[in-house]
Structure 1
Amino acid sequence: MAVFAYKAKTKDGKLMKGKIESISKKEALSKLGHMDLVVFEVDKLNAVLNKDITLRTSLKSKDFIIFLRQFSSLMSAGILLVDALDLLAAQSTSLSLKEALDELAEEIREGVALSEAMAKKPRMFPDLLVHMIHSAEVSGRLEEVLQEMADYYEKQYRIKQKLSTAMTYPLVVGVLAFFITVFLLVFIVPIFADMFASMGSELPMITQVVLKLSGFFQHYWWLIILLVGLLAGVVLQLLKKDQVAYLFDVVQLKIPILGTFVQKTLLARMTQTLSSLISSSVPILQAIEITSQVVGNRVVENVLLQAQKDVEQGESLAKPMVGHWFFPPLIIQMIQVGESSGELDEMLKKVSEIYDQEVQESSDKLQVLIEPIMIIFLSVIVGVIVLSIVVPMFSMFETFG
């Protein structure tokens, strides 16, 4: 495939520049013509110098959401599916997405369904989207489903950002506290060590402890780095085991304050995903299975898989949730009401909206609470080291005073 640079104008007169891959200049002109562009320049580029190097196999969340919204808009405007994919590929700033869309367009020209073509690229197009597209192809609601999916992934992105912010702040302050402590012990405390040694008097316990820590960090810093690296490697290996990973997910949910926030985040994700799938006529058993894969916590995943077995046997979806410590009564009651009224998707949507709002409020409260706690934590560490230096100095001044 050769690479061609083109200049063209849209119907509204907007100038467009870009690159397009094609076998020949004639085929490139044909592709551009299908995109409703007025082409006035097409030049072949050097294949080596202009070859795109794709380092990513997945897509950034923001780019993915924009792609879905643009795709929905093009379909709503009545543009043919293949032409829409060609246009999206031409204007995409993501090399991985451009390549994927070009391949999708080629497969669709060969008669492959969009959902089937997307399913071949699981790292680019999530399983949830593939199933939703498949249901849309059957019902003829492709543009609506694409818009719904854009809204869904935007909500999930926002929730993920809230969770990431809540987790990142204490981690950053913790790492900062560690490096400040190391700096003080390695570079500042030794300056006063010789001075304290010349005093001849017994030093306070706090000063003795800090001086020993300082000596340890100076002489065995390599051992500390080795142990931290070794510990990180062991933890990563252990997390690959299902039992340890399950225990880690349980611990996350049991952490005071933070655990409640994580719980609400998972409940919002679970109910929103399940509601979207059921409302798009995805079979209930398949919807539960997909949701269990998307939710991102093994505690919830296990309950959903058990619920799938219960539903298959004619039981209620809420049966394994009753009495389970993770699921609040609200979820159980709304699911039961939805099942009895035949409006399960609507009930789940209402619950997702409730927890989505609670996630927003909890995130703000959590940040307000964590900030002073971490400041106090950092102040205590620095204060102890400073105090260990100041106390013997006061004693020295009194002696020589």
Structure 2
Amino acid sequence: MPFYHYYGRDAYGVPVEGKMRGATEKEVRGKLEKKAVHAKEVKQLEGWLYQDVPVLQRQNPKEMVLFLRQLATLLQAGITLVESIKLLAGQMQSRQWRDTLAAVEEDIRGGTAFSAAAEKHRNLFPPLMTNMIKAGEAGGDLDEVIERLAVYYEKQYRLRQKVLSSLSYPLILAGASMAVVIFLLAVVVPTFADMFAGFQAELPWITRFVLTLGNVVSSLWWLLFPLAAAGIAAAALIRSRREYLYWWHYVLLRTPIVGGVLQKAAIARMSRTWSSLFASSVPVLQAVSIVERVVGNEVLATVIRDSRKSLEKGESLADPMNGHWIFPPMVTQMVTVGEKTGSLDQMFDKIADFYEEEVDQATDRMKSMMEPVLISVLAVVVGVIVASVAVPMFEIFDTIE
């Protein structure tokens, strides 16, 4: 939400000036009137010091779903667009959404189209949404388009949550296992090293190995911080360069078990997006460009980019997909049939339904497979550490007897 500089006089005629945040100039003037300040001038401040931090403007998928579902319900109930947005602006929990919707409402009341008003706030209204809204305004079926958007983002949200939950569980379990192992090596094992040093007997190889490993971990623990910083820097570099991001996504897609889930999720997202855009009568080339930006996987985006170039040459959308390893034959065949019959929206809808179901099943299988594997690995590692301490103690007891 921007800052505004104001100048005017208070209720006693004393000149006052200052800064105030507000979604629009009208909102700032309204706040000043409540404070009995007559503003002669209200001007938006420019510069990075007066801009919101981009990290705090990240779109919340759950809030997006809530907004679209409620807007679709209000429009279908016969409430006008501007009144619907006014109602939602007053009840959204997020201050960012309230301020943005208030600004959108003011623009619409001033004669601006909904799509044009939404395009001013790309942090909350992505290109996919604004283009579908624009198509709905042109076709006179805005309520149906909003309903379609609500269904789309609901399915995308559920798909994203399903994938994240299936991946986060093994990652948390692996992280906890690693923390336990590091604690045993850095804290517990060194306490036994002093005790074993007093014995003259030669220690078993497994004990010598674990003690050496424990000394290394306890002496180099400080490396965890620069390694974590290096990992964050590497992640930022990968996200900033398309070629690096391509190879990162390629490695993830080729990873056993996890790669299959990510591939199915990416195809489901792509197909659902294409289906929604085509069903809303968004022009084909424009729809392909939007899908390329929102698909979320650079390997898939590269093929879609080739498909866009193929369409620009007057060739088939499916030609670049044929033979590419990321697209199963079923997908390319259905896209080819959809092109020939003029039913791409229906074909992509069927592909999305199929792969969303596949993701559900694949994530359940992945959880059931990875949990026992990780637990078994942890049991083996902890067992080796315990054995390295127990074996020499048993030998010492035998010697004493």
User: Which TM-score applies when normalising by structure 2?
Assistant: 0.85
2:207–2:389 contact (8 Å) kept in structure 1: yes
2:275–2:346 contact (8 Å) kept in structure 1: yes
Match of 2:193 in 1: 193
Once the two structures are TM-superposed, the CA of residue 46 in structure 1 deviates from its matched residue by 11
Match of 1:30 in 2: none
Q: Does 1:367 align with 2:367?
A: yes
Match of 2:90 in 1: 90
* C-alpha distance in 2 between matches for 1:157 and 1:128: 15
Residues 348 and 231 of structure 1: CA distance in aligned 2, closer, same or farther (over 3 Å): closer
CA RMSD across the alignment: 2.3
Partner of 2:96, secondary structure, is helix
2:189–2:211 contact (8 Å) kept in structure 1: yes
Once the two structures are TM-superposed, the CA of residue 65 in structure 1 deviates from its matched residue by 0.6
2:238–2:248 contact (8 Å) kept in structure 1: no
AA matched with 2:399: T
AA matched with 1:85: I
Once the two structures are TM-superposed, the CA of residue 268 in structure 1 deviates from its matched residue by 0.6
Residues 359 and 45 of structure 1: CA distance in aligned 2, closer, same or farther (over 3 Å): farther
Once the two structures are TM-superposed, the CA of residue 45 in structure 1 deviates from its matched residue by 7.8
Match of 2:109 in 1: 109
Q: Does 1:167 align with 2:154?
A: no
Once the two structures are TM-superposed, the CA of residue 239 in structure 1 deviates from its matched residue by 4.4
1:285–1:311 contact (8 Å) kept in structure 2: yes
Task: Give runs of aligned pairs for residues 329-348 of structure 1, distance below 5 A.
Answer: 329-348=329-348
Match of 1:230 in 2: 230
Match of 1:274 in 2: 274
Match of 2:146 in 1: 146
Task: Give runs of aligned pairs for residues 319-334 of structure 1, distance below 5 A.
Answer: 319-334=319-334
Once the two structures are TM-superposed, the CA of residue 21 in structure 1 deviates from its matched residue by 5.2
* C-alpha distance in 2 between matches for 1:160 and 1:373: 24
* C-alpha distance in 1 between matches for 2:35 and 2:159: 43
CA-to-aligned-CA distance 1:136-180 (integer Å, 9 cap, x gap): 000111111111111111111111111111221222122112211
Residues 69 and 231 of structure 1: CA distance in aligned 2, closer, same or farther (over 3 Å): closer
Q: Does 1:181 align with 2:158?
A: no
Match of 1:382 in 2: 382
Match of 1:14 in 2: none
Tell me, which stretches of 5 or more residues in structure 2 are unaligned? Answer: 7-25, 38-51
1:127–1:290 contact (8 Å) kept in structure 2: yes
Identity among equivalent pairs (%): 42
CA-to-aligned-CA distance 1:372-393 (integer Å, 9 cap, x gap): 1111122122112111111111
AA matched with 1:75: L
Match of 1:240 in 2: 240
Tell me, which stretches of 5 or more residues in structure 1 are unaligned? Answer: 3-19, 28-43, 48-53
Match of 1:158 in 2: 158
* C-alpha distance in 2 between matches for 1:309 and 1:253: 24
Once the two structures are TM-superposed, the CA of residue 64 in structure 1 deviates from its matched residue by 1.2
1:173–1:378 contact (8 Å) kept in structure 2: no
Q: Which runs of 4 or more aligned residues in structure 1 lie more than 6 Å from their structure 2 counterparts after TM superposition?
A: none
* C-alpha distance in 2 between matches for 1:228 and 1:205: 32
1:177–1:381 contact (8 Å) kept in structure 2: no
Once the two structures are TM-superposed, the CA of residue 218 in structure 1 deviates from its matched residue by 2.4
Once the two structures are TM-superposed, the CA of residue 235 in structure 1 deviates from its matched residue by 4.5
CA-to-aligned-CA distance 1:67-126 (integer Å, 9 cap, x gap): 101111111122222111111111111100000000001111111111111111111111
1:271–1:349 contact (8 Å) kept in structure 2: yes
Residues 45 and 215 of structure 1: CA distance in aligned 2, closer, same or farther (over 3 Å): farther
Partner of 2:198, secondary structure, is helix
Match of 1:7 in 2: none
* C-alpha distance in 2 between matches for 1:218 and 1:346: 60
Partner of 2:57, secondary structure, is coil
Residues 384 and 58 of structure 1: CA distance in aligned 2, closer, same or farther (over 3 Å): same
Q: How many residues align?
A: 362
Partner of 1:199, secondary structure, is coil
Match of 1:253 in 2: 253
* C-alpha distance in 2 between matches for 1:60 and 1:137: 25
